Amino acid sequence: MAEIAHSYYPRIPRLILWIMVEIAIVASDMQEVIGTAISLYLLTDGIIPLYAGVLITMCDTFTFLFLERYGVRMFEAFFVFLISVMAVNFGYEFFTSKPNAGELFTGMILPWCRGCGTKQFLQGVSIVGAVVMPHNFYLHSALVKSRKIDRKAEIKVREANMYYFIESFFALFCSFWINVLVVAVFAQGFYGKTNADVRESCINNDNHMPDFYKDVYANNTDLADNDIYHAGVFLGCTFGVVALYVWAVGILAAGQSSTMTGTYAGQFAMEGFIQIKLPQWKRVLLTRSIAMGPTLLVAIFSGGINHITGFNDFLNCVQMVQLPFAIFPVLTFVSDKRVMFEFSASRNGYLNLSTSTSTLHGRSSTTCRKRNTMAPSIIQLFHPLEKKRTIFP
């Protein structure tokens, strides 16, 4: 997609799109660094402090990227392994916490939320904006080139599209259920509970948790903190220390998987948009160096691991803002017969996609504004270009 954008757009819009996808990659990488550092902190019972975990994650990705030397299949197998680790670990948490399966499946078919209002609705939409990572559009569009297909034969292209659809469906299906497991566990555990409730559970339960974890939750009536770190502590206090370590391993696997996809997406974006090709180790070094500075400062000066959540919320909002910069080129290309030929989207399909995109971005931007972060409208940002019709079809 980045290569098509290079040929399709004038220089200024092209550079803006490239900068936006790079911002999304750096924001995502910062989240992965934080998540990996927190997982190391939990696995070592605080022996590895947050800032040390941040420094360790600078190096670990280089080790995993060496797997590509053994071929694409080996690399894909490693991804499958990481996803399997996440599925098994979060599945363990699900069956340990035993949420109401009937209400869970009912909510999938008929979405409902007892006692929820506008605030909760906006939070739900913001989750979608955070989970759909902008740079993955560029990654997936580039990965299809690794398969040998006779692109001059329409029947072969249609056959390939069918298999790509099955492959994407399977990947998204697994991702969906992993997210369902995580959300269900914490909906069951945190709904209606205060910090004091969880603190009491930590102190009174025979959970074999280290003593310093028992003071993590404040003794107040505020709604229980539920970020990555506090979630692990909650699981350990409620279901035993094994649940804490299982959660930490799952977060570690998720961080490594996302880091490598971000590295590949950045490489494809740079090669496509500005026609510069860097070795992967240089790409990792560049992205990680940009992400490390502010992340390390936050880890050192944020006041400890208990206060890292606000920064993570800000990064979620950054990615929400970047999402339309990735989706709009997709809408442009799939509806343009000069690009897609007979595979271009119909008018109705294009209108449906456009409406969904506008709704998602509008709700997500409102959420970010409520969190006092910058979330300007995509129309405001591209208004001069929109008049010239250089970005939009």
Amino acid of residue 311: F
DSSP state of 47: S
Asked if 214 contacts 237 with a C-beta cutoff of 8 angstroms, the reply is yes
* 211-259 pLDDT, tens digit each: 777 788 888 888 787 788 888 888 888 888 888 888 888 888 888 777 7
Distances (CA, A) of 236 to 184, 206, 228, 242: 17, 10, 13, 7
- For residue 328, being part of any structural domain is answered with yes
In a domain, 210, yes or no: no
Angle at Cα 282 formed by Cα 277 and Cα 283, nearest 5°?
Answer: 65
Range 19-30 average pLDDT: 84
> Does residue 345 sit within a domain?
yes
What pLDDT shows up at residue 71?
A: 65
Least confidently predicted of 62-66, 112-116, 291-295: 62-66
Rounded CA-CA distance 197/218 in Å is 10
pLDDT at site 124:
66
- Of 40-54, 251-265, 304-318, 328-342, give the lowest mean pLDDT range: 304-318
- Tell me which range, 91-100, 287-296, 378-387, is most confidently predicted by mean pLDDT: 91-100
What values do phi and psi take at 65, rounded to 5?
Answer: -70, -20
pLDDT at 295 over 70: yes
pLDDT at 370: 52
Model confidence pLDDT, tens digit, residues 188-201: 878 778 888 888 88
pLDDT confidence bin for 377, thresholds 50/70/90: very low
Residue 386 clears pLDDT 60, i.e. is over it:
no
265 is a domain residue:
yes
CA–centroid distance for 312 within its chain:
11
Contact 129, 316 (CB under 8 A): yes
What is the pLDDT at residue 122? 62
In this predicted structure, the answer to whether residue 263 has a pLDDT above a threshold of 60 is: yes
- Among residues 367, 363, 362, 393, the alpha carbon closest in space to that of 380 is found at 362
Q: Are 90 and 250 in contact (CB under 8 A)?
A: yes
Mean local confidence (pLDDT), 123-129: 63
- Specify the pLDDT at position 353: 62
pLDDT 10s digits, 137-147: 888 887 777 67
SS (H, E, C) 231-296: HHHHHHHHHCHHHHHHHHHHHHHHHHHHHHHHHHHHHHHHHHHCCCCCCHHHHHHHHHHHHHHHHH
Cα-to-chain-centroid distance, residue 19? 19
> In percent, how much of the chain has pLDDT > 90?
0
Q: How far apart are CA 295 and CA 308, in angstroms?
A: 10
- DSSP 8-state secondary structure symbol assigned to residue 371: T
- Candidate ranges 38-52, 204-218, 350-364; pick with highest mean pLDDT: 38-52
Across the chain, mean pLDDT equals 76
Residue 213 lies in a domain: no
Residue 145 lies in a domain: yes
Q: Is the pTM of this model over 0.85?
A: no
| Any domain includes 217 | no
Give the chain's domain count: 1
For residue 380, name the pLDDT band (cuts at 50, 70, 90): very low
The C-alpha atoms of residue 121 and residue 153 are separated, in whole angstroms, by 46
Report phi then psi at 223, rounded to 5.
-60, 140
- Give the per-residue pLDDT at 239: 81
Examine residue 203 and state whether it is found in any structural domain, yes or no.
no
For residue 328, the enclosing domain spans 2-193+226-388
Judged against a pLDDT cut of 60, whether residue 378 lies above it is answered with: no
To the nearest whole percent, how much of the chain has pLDDT over 70? Answer: 77
Residue 131's CATH number: 1.20.1740.10
